[in-house]
Every structure is written in C-alpha cells, then in structure tokens.
Amino acid sequence: MAALSNLKQCPPFFALADPSFGANHIPELDNYPRIHVKGELHNSSAQRFYGGQGFVPVHEGVLKRIIRTFFEGGFWDSLAETRSEKTREQAPWLGKTGDYISQLLGIATTLKLKVLPHTHDLSAERIAQYVETRDWIDSDSTTQTLITCIAWRPLSVTEIVIGCRQGLCFWIVDNTMILGRTNSPSQFFKHPENLPITSMQWNKLGNLLATASIGDRSIIIWQPDSGLMEPLKRLGPPGSLLKWSPGNDWLFAGTVDRVFRVWNCHNHWTTERWTCGNGGHVQTACWSPCGRFLLFVSTTEPILYRLQFVQQTLLKSTKDEKEVLPIADLNACSADENRSLIGGPVQQLAWDPRGNYLVITFKSTNHIAVFRTFITKYDLQISPAYYLSGEIAAEHPSFVCFQPLYKEDERSIVTIAWSSGRIQYYAFD
C-alpha cells in the first residue's frame, strides 16, 4: 500500500512559470491569466448598471405584489413579502395573517423534525461538513456562504450553474455584451422541498444535471432544457456528494451517513448499496478517466479506497473482487526537515484526465500530495510522486480541479485556489 512518507518536494510554484529557471519553465502557462481573487474584489468598479434601472417604477397594490412574488419566487418568498414591513404598513391584517401562517408552519416543521431528524439544522456550519472546499465557512462575505457549488455546463462556453441555498441559478456569461455582465440568471430552479443544493454534477453531454441536498433522501436528475426533473428515491440517509463517471455509465452518490450508492445510468437507474467500514461518511471521491475505477476517502480514517468496475457491470464473480480495497495510507507524516506535516483527514481528490496523476488535499495540513497512477483494464497501481507547497507556509489549498483536454498533445493542468486568494496553475508531464 502506498504511503506519504516517500513523497519528494517539488520545486516552488512561483519558479515553474519563470523563464529564468530554464528547464522549470512551462510555456503552456505563459498565456494563463494571473488572478488574485481578493485583489480583484478590491479593485472592481463600484458603478454597476442593473436591468431594473431602465424601467419606470410602477405602483402596485399589496395583493398584486404578493401574487407577483408568488409566481416569481414561490410560496416562501410570497410569505416573506406578506410579513414585510411595507405590507404591514399598507395592510396590517395581511401581516398578521402571514404571522399566523408562519406559526402553523413552525409547528409542522417541529413535528417533521421528530419524524425525520436528518432535516434538522441545515445551517452553514452543517453544510460545511460536506462540501469539498476547505474552510468554505470562513469566506470573507456571508453572501459567499450562500453558494455551495459551481459548475460549467459541458459542451458550452457561456453557461455556468450555481448551486446555492435557494436552488439552481443558470447564468449566461457572454463577453460580447456591452455591460460585460448580467444582473439576473437566465434560469432558476428551486429544490422541490425548498432545500439548499449541496452537491451537483453534470453528465458528459451536459443534458442532465444531478443534484443532492443534505436534507433530502432523493437524488434529483434535472433536464434544464425542458425544465423536467426526476427524483431517484431510496430509503436511507440524505445525499451529500455526487460524482458522475466520465462515460455517463455510473453515478456515485455519497450520503451524510456511512452509506453510499452507485447508480447504473443505463439500467433504469438501478443501484448498488455500499457502506464505509469504520463509520463516518464519504468526504470526497473521484472516477478514473476510463470510468473503471472509483477512489474515495471517508471522514473517519485517512485511507484511500478503490472500487472497481468493468464492462458496465460491478464485479460479482468472487467475494474478493467485490470488496472495497485500500490502496494508500494517508496518515500525517513529516514532509521535510522543518518537520511540517503532510497528510491526515482528506479534503479533496482530483484525477488528471490522462489518468497519470492523482492530486490530494487535506483538511488540516497545507501541502498537496501527488501520486502517480497506472491504469490497466483490470488493475490500478499507485505510487507516491511528490508534494506541492504554496508560496508561504500559512497558505493552504482551498480547492483544486483539472481542466479538460481537447488535444492529444496537451498537458494535464491543475488549477489550485489558495487560501490567500491566489489562483495557481501547475502542468504535469
């Protein structure tokens, strides 16, 4: 079993994109933008144009405003409008009616929590236990914690979807627009139970979007173009993590408990049920580029596990073939002579599109571990390669991801969002 103790240090990142370092210079990164998120936020223009400024305000009655809010935002937004100060001033009886309705709903919610305790306390602190972004709860702005996940739509260069507490927001990002930005999403879908979206994944074709919420047992499959949705229902704990296989064959679904499932997308959404051996829940998972192997780590032990798939069927010929196998020990160890640690509880896994490198980040240590992987049809081999560090010791990776490859001769490039707000790129051989 591979271990972190054999990792070697990689040259500092800031040297890799500097031509003066000769062999360490990577021409592919010369055209990448230099981004510092905190700097961009401070330097952004304070003058904004909003679409509503182009219209003359029109006076509307209280009932008309509440009805309009209902059709635009749904029941909960209309109830909030009914209880607003503006409504109380214009029609006090409507405000009191809204208070009574809210009290009745509160009683119903209390009864629901006794029957379904997993729906309790969907606060930012609870959501932070299941997101893959490190220290997400410590975002500079409270409005940032309303966003839980973001994903570009496959086969589209302008559409991005944002998962948040209110639902799914679809935005069209078009650089040819005069204003350069839009003020409202092109589409907005709410969760059927009015719950926050905590995980989402597009399929390869970009026509299906899977979402999960830590307050709902069902996995919802959306068809954004037609506005349709299909819940995948099973008894058990709510979903927390989704990962679609590269070939659209399987959908991994982690839960807030030790149970996780793998859905067969081509066989009427049948599912295989698995459990983490030592309790806890699956913190992060990733598929191999070929879709034959699934790697995951639980929250109770820093061990990397492997689950194998072959020819659209889970291996069932022998007991050993169906077992979840440990392949790497990720317990914390000393990384260098300064005795800085690497390893421990895992935060995120990312596998490069060529299947040659596996990147691992951790919850409590600041280095990034890189393993080499070798994939055959029936086997996966993994060995320690090196570790990556930030420019300063206190800098830690918040999120990592690989960019898609569109050419045969392209190098795999990982994008790293550091806690300092710096965006860094690293190219693999």
List for the chain the helix, strand, coil content (%; round to 5): 25, 35, 45
Are residue 203 and residue 146 in the same domain, yes or no? yes
Is residue 204, in this structure, part of any structural domain at all? yes
* Among 24-28, 276-280, 392-396, 398-402, the range of highest mean pLDDT: 398-402
DSSP 91-144: -HHHHHHHHHHHHHHHHHHHHHHHH-GGGS---HHHHHTT-SSTTGGG-SSGGG
Look at residue 136 in the predicted model and tell me its pLDDT: 66
Q: Do 392 and 125 meet the contact criterion of CB atoms below 8 Å apart?
A: no
Q: Is the pLDDT of residue 292 over 80?
A: yes
Q: What angle do CA 409, 413, 417 make, to 5 degrees?
A: 165
Look at residue 54 in the predicted model and tell me its pLDDT: 53
Coil, strand or helix at 186: coil
Of the residues 275, 291, 323, which one is the last residue of a structural domain? 275
Are residue 145 and residue 259 in the same domain, yes or no? yes
Is residue 330, in this structure, part of any structural domain at all? no
Q: Count Cβ neighbours within 10 Å for each residue of 267-296 and write b for 16 or more, e otherwise.
A: eeeebeebebeeeebbbbbbbbbebbbbbb
Are residue 170 and residue 230 in the same domain, yes or no? yes
CATH of the domain at 271: 2.130.10.10
Is residue 368, in this structure, part of any structural domain at all? no
Tally of domains within the chain = 2
CA 32 to chain centre: 23
Please, which residues have CB within 8 angstroms of residue 204's CB and are 6 or more apart in sequence? 154, 244, 246, 247, 248
Is residue 344, in this structure, part of any structural domain at all? no
Q: Is the pLDDT of residue 14 over 50?
A: no
Rounded to whole angstroms, the Cα distance separating 381 from 344 reads 22
| Range of the structural domain that residue 83 is part of | 60-119
Is residue 407, in this structure, part of any structural domain at all? no
Q: What integer is the mean pLDDT of 326-348? A: 85
Are residue 113 and residue 144 in the same domain, yes or no? no
Using alpha carbons, select from 323, 320, 243, 326 the residue that is nearest to residue 289.
243
Structure-derived torsion over alpha carbons of residues 138, 142, 145, 150, reported in degrees to the nearest 10: -110
Rounded to whole angstroms, the Cα distance separating 345 from 128 reads 15
Are residue 65 and residue 164 in the same domain, yes or no? no
Look at residue 359 in the predicted model and tell me its pLDDT: 95
Q: Mean pLDDT, the chain, as a whole number?
A: 80
Are residue 206 and residue 104 in the same domain, yes or no? no
Which residues of 278-345 form beta strands (DSSP E)?
282-287, 293-298, 303-310, 313-314, 325-329, 333-334, 341-342
Are residue 207 and residue 149 in the same domain, yes or no? yes
Residue 166 vs residue 210, higher pLDDT: 210
Of the residues 245, 275, 305, which one is the last residue of a structural domain? 275
Are residue 156 and residue 265 in the same domain, yes or no? yes
At 358-379, the pLDDT tens digits run 999 999 888 999 999 999 888 8
Are residue 267 and residue 175 in the same domain, yes or no? yes
Is residue 161, in this structure, part of any structural domain at all? yes
Look at residue 171 in the predicted model and tell me its pLDDT: 86
Is residue 424, in this structure, part of any structural domain at all? no
- Report residue 16's pLDDT band, with 50, 70 and 90 as the boundaries: very low
Of the residues 253, 275, 297, which one is the last residue of a structural domain? 275
Are residue 155 and residue 266 in the same domain, yes or no? yes
Are residue 166 and residue 91 in the same domain, yes or no? no
Residue 20 tokens, joined: 């003066």
- CA torsion sign, 169 to 46 to 133 to 351? positive
Are residue 91 and residue 188 in the same domain, yes or no? no
Is residue 390, in this structure, part of any structural domain at all? no
Q: Is the pLDDT of residue 217 over 50?
A: yes
What predicted TM-score, i.e. pTM, was given to this entire model? 0.76
Range in 109-113, 139-143, 185-189, 330-334 the model is least confident about: 139-143
